[in-house]
Amino acid sequence: MATINSSIILISLPAIFRGVGINPLAPSNVGYLLWLLQGYMLVTAVLVISLGRIGDIFGRVRIYNLGFTVFSIASVFLALDPYHSGKGAMWLVIWRLLQGVGGAMLFANSSAIIADAFPATQRGLAIGINQVAAIGGSFIGLILGGLLSIGDWRLVFWVSVPFGIIGTIWGYLSLVDNGKRLKATIDWWGNLTFAIGLTSLLVAMIYGIQPYAGSSMGWSSPKVICGFAIAIVFLIAFIYIELHVEHPMFNLHLFRIRAFSMGSNAGLLAAIARGGLQFMLIIWLQGIWLPLHGYAYDATPLWAGIYLLPLTAGFLIAGPISGWISDRVGARVLSTAGLCLFGSSFLGLMFTPTNFHYIWFGGLVLLNGIGGGMFSAPNQTAVMNSVPAENRGSAGGIQAAFMNSGMVLSIGVFFSLMIVGLSHTLPKSLFTGLTSHGVSLAQAHSIANLPVVGSLFASFLGYNPLQSLLGSQANAHVSNAQWSTLTGKHFFPNLIAQPFHHGLLIVFGMALAMSLLGALLSALRGERYVHETHH
């Protein structure tokens, strides 16, 4: 449920924006869009390590159950948004942030609770199922968001409420805390410096991909520069504190365990690549491929989720099986092979034409899902097996922080790479396409020189932005036939297809490099290692 909420918004944003009554393509509303997308993951990434450590001290089940309660309350308030326009969007942003607090409580302690409950010989399958629930939820959210947004945008938030209530009651009645309790004090200074440092870093990333002072991106804006500066200062202070405090929140000494450090860093690289993949595939399907194949724009979210089913299926099948096998043979071979398979799918997608034959595309995303499942479950098991029992909450929090930070970073990194790619090719394509259909040179030049982020958001949201950019047929001074072509299903997707493919080569090339580097780190984790056998 917690990870479904990290991706359900990806698909549902057009319906949510229409329901709240704001234009998602207006420059002033880009911030709402980005905060709705990333605010939940940002809060989760910032808090999971602290909450994992607090679970080690006060009890993992107690914090986990409280997470269900907080998450459910926030879901109710999201669905009951009483406002419209900017106020309505801000209401959603604030309650999404609070929902992220509940999600962090769940993320931080679930792996540790399961690791406590199972012996090392069964832990791979158990954690594999948990990983499938976690990462699989982010895929299921894509389909669920498409289905629910057709009915009513509020259903996107209501869907979590019954599961939250059942989970809260079920957790309080049935979960037993059989983990080792850690006698320690809370590292307040470590918590504070980490929260400020990571928040500043991720907020700077969000503002960096927004237009600034006529530029397509805002990396040179004072907000971004200041955010990165604050992040550097506070994260350096955080590392210093953690190395010197008696009971650190973020146990940096765990990274001396090779299986833990290599697995954690490989997981971070895989999370960045996976987040970028989801984002780019949604743009590709909603903004280009589905309209070119005759789908109405308001139906593209649902069909994008349906056409991504092989990705979900591959992961759901490979995850538990790989976890079960890793109990017997260890994680190194499976997780390394999985990331190599994962990376090979990016290589295949680089050679896939924008207007593809689905059987080829479906095969590649299935391969990506299988590779991701082969890596994730064995890797998580190996990481959790490598740490002392009393540190599992902290270790689980670090894994969740890496996964959620990777998702936030991926949108910043891949979005920036795509904008760089589009900036070189899209203005010329726009200018040529508009003038060839009767738009005046001056108006075509003005539209072609707008920040390309608007066109990218339009594709992501399944919009054709040309009608709002051109104003009206009278303003554009074009014939009825030309206006019908310009604002139809095919003109804009055809126009952006080649520039988008140019950007995809850059994005998927980076994802391939991250996958191969992650595979190398996974291979270097060493032989099978279970901490319990080394007391």
Tell me how far apart the alpha carbons of residues 355 and 367 are, in angstroms, rounded to a whole number: 20
Considering only CA atoms, which of 56, 163, 37, 72 is closest in space to residue 108? 56
Are 169 and 68 contacting, i.e. CB atoms less than 8 angstroms apart?
no
> What is the 8-class DSSP label of residue 212?
B
Q: What is the mean pLDDT of the segment spanning 179-188?
A: 71
Of 69-73, 151-155, 347-351, 526-530, the one with minimum mean pLDDT is 526-530
According to DSSP, residue 283 is labeled I
- pLDDT for 51: 83
- The tokens describing 6, both together, are 């990290």
pLDDT of 356: 92
**Nearest one of 410, 406, 413, 404 to 46, comparing CA atoms:** 404
* pLDDT tens digits along 304-354: 888 988 988 888 888 888 878 887 777 788 899 999 999 999 999 999 999
Tell me, what's the pLDDT at 533? 45
* Chain centre to alpha carbon of residue 343: 18
448 has pLDDT over 80: yes
Of 515 and 389, the one with more pLDDT: 515
425 vs 343, more confident: 343
Q: How far apart are the first and last CA of the chain?
A: 37
For 453-466, the pLDDT digits (tens) are: 777 777 777 677 78
pLDDT given at position 340 = 94
Residue 215 dihedral angles phi and psi, to the nearest 5°: -95, 155
What's the pLDDT band for 181 if we cut at 50, 70, 90? Answer: low
DSSP designation for 245: S
pLDDT for the residue numbered 25: 66
Mean pLDDT over 60-68 rounds to 88
Cα 451 to Cα 147: distance, rounded to the nearest angstrom: 32
Distance CA 157, CA 149 (A): 10
According to the model, what pLDDT value does residue 119 have? 82
What is the pLDDT, as a whole number, of residue 476?
Answer: 72
* 260: phi then psi, degrees, rounded to nearest 5: -70, -50
According to the per-residue pLDDT averaged within each range, which of 140-149, 292-301, 430-439 is highest? 430-439
Please tell me the predicted confidence (pLDDT) of residue 74. 93
Secondary structure, 3-state, 111-161: HHHHHHHCCCCCHHHHHHHHHHHHHHHHHHHHHHHHHHHHHCCCHHHHCHH
Instruction: Tell me the torsion sign for CA atoms 83, 86, 91, 92.
Output: positive
3-state secondary structure 395-418: HHHHHHHHHHHHHHHHHHHHHHHH
Q: Looking at residue 514, what is its pLDDT?
A: 92
Q: What is the pLDDT of residue 353?
A: 92
How many helical (H) and strand (E) elements, i.e. helices and strands, does the chain have?
22, 0
Stretch 5-29: mean pLDDT: 76
Mean pLDDT across 403-415: 79
Question: Which residues are registered as beta bridge partners of 212?
Answer: 215
Spacing of C-alpha 134 from chain mean position = 12
Q: Model confidence at 182, in pLDDT bands (50, 70, 90)?
A: low
CA angle in degrees (0–180, nearest 5) for 64-65-70: 95
pLDDT for 269 equals 92
Question: What is the residue-averaged pLDDT of the chain?
Answer: 83
Percentage above 70 pLDDT, the chain: 95
CA–CA gap between residue 156 and residue 148 (Å, rounded)? 6
CA 136/CA 302 separation, integer angstroms: 18
Is residue 490 within 8 Å of 437, Cβ to Cβ? Answer: no
Highest mean pLDDT out of 151-165, 338-352, 418-432: 338-352
Residue tagged 């989760």 (tokens):
44
Q: pLDDT (tens digit, 9 = 90+) per residue, 356-372?
A: 999 999 999 999 999 99
More confident residue, 327 or 295: 295
Reduced to 3 states (helix: H, G, I; strand: E, B; else coil), residue 464 is coil
pLDDT in tens, 121-131: 777 778 777 77
Q: Identify the pLDDT of residue 531.
A: 59
pLDDT at 484 over 80: yes
Which range, of 37-51, 127-141, 516-530, averages the lowest pLDDT? Answer: 127-141
Position 272 pLDDT exceeds 80 = yes
**Percentage of the chain lying above the pLDDT 90 cut:** 17
pLDDT digits (tens, 9 = 90+) for 76-109: 999 999 988 888 989 999 999 999 899 888 887 8
- Dig out the tokens for 149 from the structure: 């947004």
What pLDDT, on a 0 to 100 scale, did the predictor assign at position 535?
38
Residue 532 pLDDT > 60: no
